[in-house]
Amino acid sequence: MKLATTRALPLETEDLGTLDDLVDLVSGGGVLVLSGAGMSTDSGIPDYRGPDGTRRVEPMTFGEFTGSSEARRRYWARSYIGWQRFTAAEPNSGHQHVTALQREGYVGPIITQNVDGLHQAAGAEDVVELHGSLDRAVCLTCGEVTSRQGLHERMAEANPGFMERFAAQAEAVGSQWGEQVRPDGDIVVADSLVDSFYAPHCLVCGHDTVKPDVVFFGESVPKSLVDKCFGLVESAGAVLVLGSSLSVMSGYRFVRHAARIGVPVGIVTRSATRGDADATIRLHAPLGATLDALGAALGHGD
């Protein structure tokens, strides 16, 4: 199943259940967490969609990235800038609550659609990265895997002064570039700067087909990973969706599967999701505040 580039979200729906119902769901244990971009917004990484579910920015697709050297140069020029803000992000209280719930035995594995590594940075274990991780890069020609930090250092050496030129341009036009970072670390950069950027080449085969080790829109999640996640759903006492609109089948299929086999589904997001009709409990509320309240009800910090 490929990540779709557009998905219609349902009309706004009312809450189904209360915080007490959510507490009951989680206190039963065996909870499989499925987290999305809304999990990391309090860490300063904006999601793709606005409060009404409408996509605010269009990510580069897999077809675009593989289609030309020019597209890859554009991606890496933008990612070179965005990476520096992206890596400065730290786990927020939501990540910390999920880790605490896992350590206390309420939560088991975590499936995350995020590529930021913040669950692991907060100390969570057994995290399945459904869409990969930005801390790695892979060559599409020869399969060589390299660290994103090492790649960043190579790009810095090959593009001296690029950051300074970007900062000067952003200041001239009054751009708040930090607010434009996307969940994949991409960012808006003027074409005039992109044209001067030297994109990374693979150190093994020499091709310019180096790609972040993440699943782009239009690219398929490996079947073996999908099958593993289905198995986690089937073993779970409940599925708890945190901060995902479920707008792409990549994550929604697990909610749909849970509902089909009778595994309770809780959803906490700020607005309607594609999976609302499948939910046992749904709360359209700020994620951080809801997890704070959940943690307090379960005795965190006592």
Q: Catalytic: 131?
A: yes
Closest CA to 128 of 44, 32, 219: 32
Strand locations in 105-160, DSSP E? 107-112, 127-129, 132-139, 145-147
Catalytic residue among 97, 131, 152, 284: 131
Pure H helices in 133-175: 148-158, 162-173
Distance CA 123, CA 66 (A): 35
DSSP 181: -
Residue environment code for 17-34, b if the CB has 16+ CB neighbours within 10 A, otherwise e: bebebbebbbeeeebbbb
**Any bridge partners for residue 239, and if so which?**
32, 265
Residues 6+ apart with CB under 8 A from 66: 140, 209
The residues carrying an active-site annotation are: 131
